[in-house]
Amino acid sequence: MMSTLNADSFEDLTQKCVLSDFQHLMLYVFVRIGTIDPTLQADHDDGTIVVQVLFDAHQPVAPGMTFQSVREVADAQNTDWNMVVVGLAKNSDASLPNETQAQSFLADMREKVMVGDIDEYALLDRNGQAAESSIEVVPFEGSTSIN
């Protein structure tokens, strides 16, 4: 099951998970958010913000986890990301979610990111700082973009 994120920082969140009676899996969807040049859009007067899902990842929550270590591992995969959507998963029996469960949770997260339904997740920039997540979905040339 997915858990609601309620912490002041990434490190605070990991500490709360470590201190709980449950094993948690941290879920990440790394995205590139950018603006489309308004001259390329006939029906828009200003640049449209577009979200592209680049990759996802997961890892068990462990003592001492930092956002810096997450950023370093992510950059080894792809340096184009500029935001990450973060979620938590846990099993009701306090066991760690398995790989099949993790992939299912991540598929659900990717879908929610693409339709702008990220209220239950944290949206962090490359420095691990919380970002504004008030968005509106706008279709653009057959793909989904978020405004």
Establish if 16 belongs to a structural domain: yes
Model confidence pLDDT, tens digit, residues 46-70: 557 788 999 999 999 999 999 999 9
pLDDT of residue 49: 74
Establish if 96 belongs to a structural domain: yes
CA distance 27 to 89: 7
Establish if 123 belongs to a structural domain: yes
Establish if 39 belongs to a structural domain: no
- Compute how many other C-beta atoms are within 10 angstroms of the C-beta atom of residue 23: 18
Establish if 139 belongs to a structural domain: no
Establish if 129 belongs to a structural domain: yes
Establish if 8 belongs to a structural domain: yes
Separation in Å, CA 130 to CA 3, 62, 96: 18, 21, 26
Model confidence pLDDT, tens digit, residues 84-104: 999 999 999 999 999 999 999
pLDDT of residue 7: 64
pLDDT-based confidence at residue 9 (cuts at 50, 70, 90): confident
Q: Which residue has the higher pLDDT, 3 or 48?
A: 48
Tokens of 48: 């449209």
SS3 content of the chain, % helix, strand, coil (to 5): 30, 30, 40
What percentage of the chain reaches a pLDDT higher than 90?
52
pLDDT of residue 143: 39
- Compute how many other C-beta atoms are within 10 angstroms of the C-beta atom of residue 48: 18
Q: Mention every residue, 6+ apart, whose C-beta is less than 8 A from residue 23.
A: 60, 61, 90, 91, 94, 95, 96
Tokens of 83: 């935001």
Domain range for 12: 2-32+54-133
Single pTM value for the model: 0.79
Domains of the chain: total: 1
Top mean-pLDDT range of 14-23, 72-81, 116-125: 72-81
Establish if 94 belongs to a structural domain: yes
